[in-house]
Every structure is written in structure tokens, then in C-alpha cells.
Amino acid sequence: MITVVGTGTGTPLPPDVAAGAGLVVGGRRHLDAVRLPEGAERVVLGPLAPALDVIERHLEKESRVLVLASGDPGFFGIVRVLAERFGADRLEVRAGVSSVAAAFARAGLPWDDAVVVSAHGRDLRTAVNVCRAHPKVAVLTGPGAGPAELGAALRHACGTPPGATAHASGTRVLVVASALGDPVRERVDRVTPAEAAGRDWGADVSVVLCLDETRVPGGVRTVAGAAAGPAGWALDEGEFTHRDSMITKFEVRALALARLGPRLGDLVWDVGAGSGSVAVECARLGAAAVAVEKTADGAARIAANARAHGVYVDVRHGSAPGLLGELPDPDAVFVGGGGAELPAVVTACAVRARRTVVVAMAALDRVPAARAALTGAGFSCDGVLLQSSRLAPLPGDVTRLAATNPVFLLWGTRTPSSEEGVAQ
């Protein structure tokens, strides 16, 4: 039997926790805090594979194994690895208080509506994109992915960078909880992303909370975690403020969203955003979204549409492709509108996109150049001409079909052989 005990964050170890154990496994500070039985083997956790092999040898001898872990070992912890290797029926887990629960407690906040993302041993970009999109996030940190790195990534993404249109939902506060449960070293600091980026936080950081206090959700929850996704998408054009019908029609937007596949942890660009309808819909589906718009009134309109739908869109006022160099690499890109610069814009997007680029064009003579830009960047390419007719009333309580303007939708999907082309 393997006994897994969570400690720290206010959960002290029982004095006799190691009694009868033939093997005790844990971090050095956990091992130093317990009295080992006579003859017991001790393994300091580092790489997991050697420790798991030692555990297996002791289990074969029917020796009791004790594993010491921080907080709740079943929450992004060692229980997963042990259960996969030895089976859940061989585990006795005594959970402590997780660092996430403790950090929110120190901040005086509930956390059933928080999104929790781990950056420990993982790519930081997923955590950054979740923080951009959601108002209450807990980030489990690790070497190279701590408060300074998170703050640096969010400093421009969720602040007011040069050329950006700010609105109230663009600010973030980071709550950095360090050495949770330690009566002497515990600290909880509230800082801006810029302040976090400029500090050396050392090795004591337990967890970082990223809060958009203008959008912290309220009310009674039924399901924990991120808010439930929208009941519908491809919203009617009337759901957005737009100018002279300059908006991606809902039929086009429905297919574009299907090809973009926005999801939690993704970053989507909406280039030539107009009303920002695509960016707003991607944000409603959980992705982080950046809208690039060359007109000042259009940029303000996008920010207003984002506020109206309760989401955050990072609005950049400027022209593509020049402005795109200031943005982090996207997972997916939607390019709307078009002009003489369209091939250059599509090329710039295709070089940076990690997964897909979708282009909407009303002018068919733009299609060959856009397609060549996608295939030239190593994308497999497909497309469709969308022609729809909507029900429209006629006098006498009868209905006719009213045709909308046809739009060509082109999409490129990155193939495995083209992954090297993504800017790193």
C-alpha cells in the first residue's frame, strides 16, 4: 500500500506519519520534517522515474510506502502518476489544503468560479492566454514560468500598449502567494503585471492569481471552473454595433468559427476586425482574442461590443501587416475585408499561425493571391463560396427569400511538415 500525505499550506504532518514505513519519498523539506523509522529508505523526489522504480521494489516486498507531497496531492499532484503506474486501489490519499484554495482564502475570495492552469513544466503561453480571456485564474508556477515571466507576458496583452484602445476590462491584478503555510516566510503580494515582471521572486512562490476585478463573476454557481460556454454562436448581426452593415454575416461567421476552432488556452487574431464580431464570438467560446482595426471609430466600436457581451478583447488600433509584429503568435487567425495589401496580410498571418488561417473575401479576384499565400506558407488549403437567402416578410403576411451578398471563405490548415515555419 502507498500512503500519500499532503502537507504544507497550513496542514501540519502528524508526528507519527512515517511509523512502520519501509520507504519514505518526498521533497527534501518534507523529509527533513519527519522522523524516519529505523532502517527505512529515504528518496528525495527529483526525476520521477527512478523514484517510481524504488517504490515498485518496495511494493514487491509488501513494504509500506509513504509519499509526502505539498497541499492536495490529487490536484495537479503526484496521485495521478502513482495511480497510473500502480493502480488507484493501492493508494491511500490523505489530502491537505491545495495551494490554490489557500491562496484564494488569503485573498478573501471564493474560487468555485476560477480557472486553474498549470505552467509547471509546461508552455507558459497556455496560462497567459487563459489569463487574457478569463477574469479569475490561478496559475501554478514553475522554473521559467513564475510571476515575472507571467507578468512580462501580460504587461502588454492586458494593459494599454502603444496603439491599443483601452477599456475597463483590460487591467489585471496579480496576487502572488509565496511559502503558503510557513509561519515565518509566507507572503501575499498584490502587484500589476509590470511590477511582477520587474521583481525577482525567488523559489518560494506557491501560486499566482490573475484577476480582472472589473469582470469578477458573481452569483450562485452550479458547475465549478470556467463559466459555461454560450448556448449559441454565430449571433445575429443585430447583436453587434456596426457601421453600414460592415460586419461578417452570421452564416459566414458560423463556418469561420468552425474552421478557427477557438477554445480555452488559444489565442485568436481577428485582422481587419470591423465590428469585432469574430473576435467577440471567439472570446465567448473561451479563447483569448486580439482584434486589429485600422480606424479609430472601428476600434472603439469593437471595445464596446466586447463590453456588451461581457468578454475581453485586446483591441489594437493600426494597420496590418505592420502592426502584427507587436502581437504574440496566434493559434488561429481570421482575416476579414481585403484590399491590395491582402496577400501580404495573409502571408504575415500564415507565417505566425500555429494551426489555421481563415480568410473571408467578397471579391473573387482576391482568392488566387490569398490561396497562394497560404499554400506558400505550407498550409493545406480549402474553401467555399457561401451564398445564402434569408426569409424576409412581404405584404399580405407572406414570405420571400432575400439573397445576401456571396462571400468566398478560404481556410488553410497547418500540416505537420510546415510546423517549423511557425515563429518561436
Task: Return the residue matching grid coordinates 493559434.
Answer: 331
pLDDT attached to residue 16: 84
pLDDT attached to residue 213: 84
pLDDT attached to residue 167: 40
Residue 84 has pLDDT above 90, yes or no: yes
**pLDDT tens per residue across span 196-252:** 999 999 988 989 999 988 876 667 778 888 877 888 899 998 899 988 777 889 999
pLDDT attached to residue 304: 95
pLDDT tier at 280 (50, 70, 90 boundaries)?
Answer: very high
Give long-range contacts, CB 8 A cutoff, 24+ apart: 102-108: 102/9, 102/10, 102/71, 102/177, 102/180, 102/181, 102/206, 103/138, 103/175, 103/177, 103/180, 103/188, 103/206, 103/207, 103/209, 104/138, 104/209, 106/175, 106/177, 106/180, 106/188, 107/175, 107/188, 107/209
pLDDT tier at 295 (50, 70, 90 boundaries)?
Answer: very high
Instruction: Tell me the fold of 2-97.
Output: Cobalt-precorrin-4 Transmethylase; domain 1 (3.40.1010)
Cβ count near 228 (within 10 Å): 9
DSSP string across 185-226: T-EEEEE-HHHHHTS--TT-EEEEEEE-TTS---S--SS-SS
Alpha-carbon span 21 to 2, nearest angstrom: 10
Task: Return the residue matching grid coordinates 499554400.
Answer: 375
**pLDDT tens per residue across span 390-414:** 899 999 889 999 988 899 999 999 9
Hey, what amino acid is at 172?
Answer: R
Q: Would you kindly state where each structural domain of the chain is located, as residue ranges?
A: 2-97, 100-211, 237-421
73 contacts: CB under 8 Å, gap ≥ 6? 4, 5, 6, 67, 79, 93, 95, 96
pLDDT attached to residue 189: 96
The CA-based diameter of the chain, rounded to the nearest angstrom, is 95
**pLDDT tens per residue across span 23-79:** 999 988 888 888 888 889 999 988 899 999 999 999 999 899 999 998 899 999 999
Residue 44 main-chain phi, psi, to 5 deg: -80, 125
Residue 305 has pLDDT above 80, yes or no: yes
Q: What is the distance between the terminal CA atoms of the chain, rounded to a whole angstrom?
A: 45
268 closest CA partner among 213, 198, 335: 335
**pLDDT tens per residue across span 335-373:** 997 678 899 999 999 999 999 999 999 888 899 999 999
pLDDT attached to residue 417: 60
pLDDT tier at 169 (50, 70, 90 boundaries)?
Answer: very low
Residue 181 has pLDDT above 80, yes or no: yes
- What are residue 33's DSSP bridge partners? none
102 closest CA partner among 76, 71, 131: 71
CA torsion through residues 221, 304, 339, 346, sign: negative
pLDDT attached to residue 230: 87
pLDDT attached to residue 223: 85
Residue 285 has pLDDT above 50, yes or no: yes
pLDDT tier at 263 (50, 70, 90 boundaries)?
Answer: very high
pLDDT attached to residue 109: 92
Mean pLDDT of the chain: 89
Alpha-carbon span 137 to 116, nearest angstrom: 6
Instruction: Tell me the fold of 100-211.
Output: 3.30.950
pLDDT tier at 132 (50, 70, 90 boundaries)?
Answer: very high
The CATH code for residues 237-421 is 3.40.50.150
251 closest CA partner among 370, 345, 391: 391
